[in-house]
């Protein structure tokens, strides 16, 4: 992969871990008030485990890309 591509893990719905989807795509362009972060490490939080089960209050609608815990630099 080069600097213009990214990998994302998508929560397509209520699934077991093997049901997560890995997708490759172009790095989005930041809009007003946004930044692009080059992620170096991430974890899976308790909240994200609950989202995977559909049990987290006020979670985004499926499908979505979780990402509460990460370490990175602003590109």
pLDDT at 3 (0 to 100): 61
Q: What's the pTM value of the predicted model, to 2 decimals?
A: 0.78
Total number of domains in the chain: 1
For 2-48, the pLDDT digits (tens) are 568 899 999 999 999 999 999 999 998 999 999 999 999 998 899 99
Q: How far apart are CA 13 and CA 64, in angstroms?
A: 8
CB 9 within 8 Å of CB 20: yes
Domain containing residue 26: 5-74
């Amino acid at each position: 992969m080069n600097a213009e591509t990214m990998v994302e893990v998508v929560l397509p719905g209520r699934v077991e871990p093997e049901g997560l989807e890995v997708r490759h795509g172009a790095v989005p362009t930041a809009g007003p008030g946004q930044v692009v972060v080059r992620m170096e490490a991430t974890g899976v939080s308790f909240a994200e485990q609950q989202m995977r089960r559909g049990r987290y209050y006020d979670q985004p609608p499926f499908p979505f890309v979780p990402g509460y815990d990460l370490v990175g630099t602003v590109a």
